[in-house]
Structure formats: C-alpha cells, structure tokens
Amino acid sequence: MAKKKRPPTLADQLRTFLQNSGVSLRGLAYAAQVDASCLTRFMAGERDLTVSSAGRLADVMGLRLVQTLEDSILPAAQDLADVE
C-alpha cells in the first residue's frame, strides 16, 4: 500500500513563495505584520506561529488555512487513548 503524500506545510509554502516571488523574508514579514525574526525561527523549526500570524501570512501569499481531520481529531483521539 502506497503511503499518502503529506501536503506541504506552511513553512514549505513560505519557502516556495519566497523563492518564486522575489519577495524578501523581511518584505513578507512586513506585509503580514509578523516579526521577521519570529518568521525566520518558524521556518527553521525553532518556534511556532500564532494562528493569527499564520493567517496573515497566508492572506499575503494568497493561501487559505485549513485544518484537516487528521491534524485535529485523530491526534486528540490518540492522546485520549493513551490516557486510558
């Protein structure tokens, strides 16, 4: 059985956007009203973004944030199963 391909993360999409758009990381951060150092650390996997920051970045890039069933309910259900 073939593994299901993981959709690109927001960090992946940020990298692609920056590579293809000619917009600098500082320019993107400014347009989205996100601190550039926070964005750099997010892309390096050193910190998370708030939902509002992620939403503003998505808006600037013309993306829409979605949460899948796998991202929300299944991990929560596994956490509950581990407690029992």
Better-scored residue on pLDDT, 79 or 36: 36
Q: From the centroid of its chain, how far is CA 77? A: 22
Instruction: Grade residue 76 by pLDDT with cuts at 50, 70 and 90.
Output: low
Return the pLDDT at 64. 82
- Cβ burial of 23 (10 Å; 0-12, 13-18, 19+) is middle
Q: From the centroid of its chain, how far is CA 21? A: 18
User: How many Å apart are CA 47 and CA 40, to the nearest integer?
Assistant: 9
Per-residue pLDDT tens digits for 21-75: 999 999 999 999 999 999 999 999 999 999 899 989 989 988 887 766 555 555 5
For residue 2, pLDDT beyond 60: yes
User: How many Å apart are CA 44 and CA 47, to the nearest integer?
Assistant: 8
Structural domains in the chain, sorted by start? 10-83 (1.10.260.40)
